Structure 1
Amino acid sequence: MSGTGDSRAATNALLADLREAGPVPSAAMRFLGRAARRSLRQASRRPRALAELTAVHAVLYAAAAGRRPGRRWVVAGWGMAVLHLGLLEHRNRLAAADLVTLLRANLPALPGGSGRACGVLAIALDVADGSLARRRGTTSPFGDHADTFADAAFWTWFTLRHDPSRTVRTAAVAAWALPVVVVTDVALRRGAVPERPRPVLLRPAAALQVVVAVRRLARR
C-alpha cells in the first residue's frame, strides 16, 4: 500500500468492490489478488527499504534454524512487512525504530524466545522503538502497523504457549487477537477501513503485557 491517504482510499475502493460483489469465493480471490499486486508495486518503488527488510529477515532466518516456530515465523513476518512497505509514505528506507519493532515481532523464532525473561525483553524493545521513533522523528504508518502486528503476534503466542492460566490465555486472545478479527469483520461489512482505536483503549492490553511477562519471569 502507499501513503496513509492513498492507501486508505485504495483499500476502501477494493473493500467496496468486494462488498458489492457479495460473499462469493471469486470476489474474495479477486480482492486478495488486486490488493497483493498493489502492495507489491508499492514495495518495488522502495528498493532500498525492500533490500533492508530482506537483509534483516535473512539474519533472523539464519538465527531461527532448528527452532519452532522458527523459520516459518520469520518468512511469514517478512511477507507481511513487504506487503505494507507502501506505508513508509515518502521514506525509502527503514528507520532504526522499525528494525527494533521487527526484532520484537520475531522473538518467538529466535534463541531465547521461550526464556523466562523474553516477555520483559519484548516490553523493553516496545519502549525502545517508541522512544527512537519520537526522538528521531521517524514515526510512520508502517511503524504504527508493524507495532500493532508485533504486539498481536508475539503476546498471543507467548501467552498461549507459556501461561498455564485459562483466564490469562482467554484475556490474551481478547486483548490481541480478537481486535484484529473484529476490525477485519467491520471493514468487510462496511466496505471501508474503520478508524484505529484510540491509545486509551489499548491500555488494558499494555497492562496485560506486564502481567504475563512477570508471571513468566516468576515461574520456574
Structure 2
Amino acid sequence: MRVSDLTDSRAATNALLATGRDSHWKPRAVARFLCQATHRSARQAARHPRALAELIALHGLLLPLTQTRADRRWVAASWTLAALHLGLLERRDHLAPADALTLIRGNLPATAIGASRFSGVLAIASDVADGRLARRQATTSPFGDYADTFADAAFWTWLTLRHEPSRTVRAAAIAAWAAPVLAVTALAVSRGQMPERPRPELLRPAAAMQGIVALRHLLRR
C-alpha cells in the first residue's frame, strides 16, 4: 500500500519513518522521505481547506503584534509547521478553540506580550485553558496534542534563554523542554515509529519548571 493511500496520520507517519529506517537513512532515503512527507502534507492541507484558512487568519492577526523581522519569521515558521501537519487533525475539518490557544501561546515570543513580566503567567493560564477546553468540547486530536508539546518547548525555552540570568535554571529549562523534543525525534528516527507523548502531564519535570520560571520572571526587576 502506498503511503499516500493511508488515511490515518500516525500510520502514514510510521510508514514514512519505517521506510527511512529500513534504508538506514542514506542520503537518497532522506530525500525520498522529505519528498513523500511534503507531498502528503500538501494533500492533507488541500483536504482541510477550512483549517488552512483558519491558520492563515490566526497568524495574520499575530503579524501586527510583531516588531522585528525575526518576530515575523517566527510567526511564518509557526504557520508553516502547522500547515504541514494538518493531517494530524484527521477527520476534523477545522481548528478547535484549544488549538488556537495553543498556537497563540507558541507565538508569544514574537509579540510584545512575550517580553512582559506577565508572559509566563499568561502562558500557564493558556495551557490550563486549552486543556480544559479540549476535554470539555471533546476536541482532542494528534494535532492539538503535538502542537501543545512544541508550543510549550518553544515558549519556555525562549523565555528562559532570553530572560533568565541563572545558568542553573537555563540548563534545567533545556533539560525540561528542549531535550525531550530532541529525544522523541531521535527515538522516532531510530525506531521508525512515532512514540507516544509522556503522560500524565502533571508528572513531567517541565510542569514544575513552568511555575519556577514564570514566578522568577514575574518578580524580576
* TM-score normalised by structure 1 residue count: 0.93
Deviations along 1:51-104, whole A, 9 cap, x unmatched?
Answer: 01111111112221x236310100000011111111112111111111111111
1:48 is aligned to 50
What is the distance in 1 between the residues matched to 2:189 and 2:204?
26
Deviations along 1:108-157, whole A, 9 cap, x unmatched?
Answer: 00122111111111111111111111222212211111111100110011
Moved more, 18-27 or 124-133: 18-27
**CA 1:7–1:202 in 2, change beyond 3 Å: closer, same or farther?**
farther
Give, as a single letter, the amino acid of the residue that structure 2 aligns with 1:212: V
State the 1:159 CA deviation. 0.5
1:6 is aligned to 8
Out of 7, 25, 28, the position equivalent to 2:27 is 25
1:133 is aligned to 134
Contact 1:69 1:108 (C-alpha < 8 Å) held by counterparts: no
Q: How does 1:93-112 map to 2 (within 5 A)?
A: 93-112=94-113
Give, as a single letter, the amino acid of the residue that structure 1 aligns with 2:153: A
RMSD, aligned CA: 1.9
Equivalent position SS for 1:69: helix
Deviations along 1:141-176, whole A, 9 cap, x unmatched?
Answer: 111111111001100111111101111111111111
Structure 1 residue runs without a partner (length 5+): none
1:153 is aligned to 154
Equivalent position SS for 2:41: helix
State the 1:201 CA deviation. 7.2
1:15 is aligned to 17
Q: How does 1:115-194 map to 2 (within 5 A)?
A: 115-194=116-195
Q: How does 1:193-208 map to 2 (within 5 A)?
A: 193-199=194-200, 202-208=203-209
**CA 1:80–1:89 in 2, change beyond 3 Å: closer, same or farther?**
same
Give, as a single letter, the amino acid of the residue that structure 2 aligns with 1:39: S
Equivalent position SS for 1:113: helix
Contact 1:67 1:110 (C-alpha < 8 Å) held by counterparts: no
State the 1:203 CA deviation. 2.8
Moved more, 11-20 or 153-162: 11-20
Equivalent position SS for 1:146: helix
What is the distance in 2 between the residues matched to 1:172 and 1:98?
24
* TM-score normalised by structure 2 residue count: 0.92
**CA 1:136–1:195 in 2, change beyond 3 Å: closer, same or farther?**
closer
What is the distance in 2 between the residues matched to 1:125 and 1:57?
17
Contact 1:68 1:109 (C-alpha < 8 Å) held by counterparts: no
2:114 is aligned to 113
Contact 2:8 2:90 (C-alpha < 8 Å) held by counterparts: no
Give, as a single letter, the amino acid of the residue that structure 2 aligns with 1:29: A
**CA 1:140–1:214 in 2, change beyond 3 Å: closer, same or farther?**
same
Q: How does 1:52-91 map to 2 (within 5 A)?
A: 52-64=54-66, 66-67=67-68, 69-91=70-92
Structure 2 residue runs without a partner (length 5+): none
Contact 1:97 1:129 (C-alpha < 8 Å) held by counterparts: yes
Give, as a single letter, the amino acid of the residue that structure 1 aligns with 2:114: G
Deviation above 6 Å: which 4+ runs of structure 1? none
